[in-house]
Amino acid sequence: MVKDDRGKRFSCLKCGASFVGYPPDDFHQTASLNQSQVHNPIKVEHRCDKCGSTNILYWGGMKIAFAVG
């Protein structure tokens, strides 16, 4: 089994318990609670193991500029 070290630590908004969230792919590496703060957001839900609350993270990519010259 390959270890996935891309996970980032977050806290449940209701009880504060920590959990690890993983980006959905290689492009979407930035997480936010607000989908308008990330580019091309993907909604990922995480159910807290401690309190059962659903936490929503929006994973987004960086805007990439291309130059030709």
Torsion angle in degrees (nearest 10) through CA of 14, 18, 22, 24: 0
3 pLDDT band, cuts 50/70/90, is low
pLDDT in tens, 25-62: 999 999 999 999 999 999 999 999 999 999 999 999 86
Report whether pLDDT(16) > 70.
Answer: yes
The single-letter code of the amino acid at 67 is A
Helix residue ranges per DSSP H, 1-69: none
Q: Which of 58, 49, 59 is nearest to 16 (CA)?
A: 49
Q: Where are the domains positioned within the chain?
A: 24-62
pTM of the model: 0.78
- Looking from the CA of 22 toward its CB, the CA atoms found within 13 Å total 6
